[in-house]
Amino acid sequence: MTSANPGELPCSLAGLPAAAERHLELAGLAYTQDSLAEKHLGEAMRIAPGHLAVQVGYYRYLFYKGRLQDALAQLDVCMGNAAAQCGLPEDWRKAQPQDAEFGSYDSLWARFYLFALKAHGYIRMRLGDLEGGSAAITKAMQLDPTDKVGAKILLEVVERRGRDDDD
């Protein structure tokens, strides 16, 4: 299970109150109407502020609207949630491979953390912070040496930049 698109983070609706789920659905339906979509996202956040589906829904909205700085801030909330669930350090730079079962498909939070770290690196790169983005991708690869989340390709893009395909 990999996610080629950094905007797509895996999450579960388990435990999400029906009212919050409905607001997420309405936000999706109102995607082209920013104020209405954000109103529904705000309601979902009010009802279930700590639920990962709500946090990721808000992140995805920001990401696909091209509001990358806001998306990065929301992604950091998601990563903090995942870190707390896995018992990982708050600072992703301090996470170590032995800190969680990153390679296990059964460890939803650890795998989510990897996807979020990959997305963090991607957004930093898109914002022009190639060094910070590369550091996040390198950390994701350190935590996931078999590259189950497909982070390596992003690092390869950075390494190839400025070179023609014929080089």
Regarding whether 61 and 76 lie in a shared domain, the answer is no
Does 84 map to a domain?
Answer: yes
Phi-psi region of 100 (alpha: psi -120 to 50; beta: other; left: phi over 0): beta
Domain annotation covers residue 146: yes
Q: Are residues 103 and 56 in the same domain?
A: no
Q: What is the pLDDT of residues 39-65, one digit of tens each?
A: 999 999 999 988 889 999 999 999 999
**Domain boundary residue, one of 65, 96, 125:** 65
Residue 9: band (very low, low, confident or very high) from pLDDT cuts 50, 70, 90: very low
Q: What's the domain range around 138?
A: 68-160
Confidence of residue 11 (pLDDT cuts 50, 70, 90): low
* Contacting residues for 51 by C-beta, under 8 A, at least 6 apart: 15, 16, 20
pLDDT digits (tens, 9 = 90+) for 89-120: 999 999 999 999 998 877 888 988 999 999 99
Residue 10 domain-assigned?
A: no
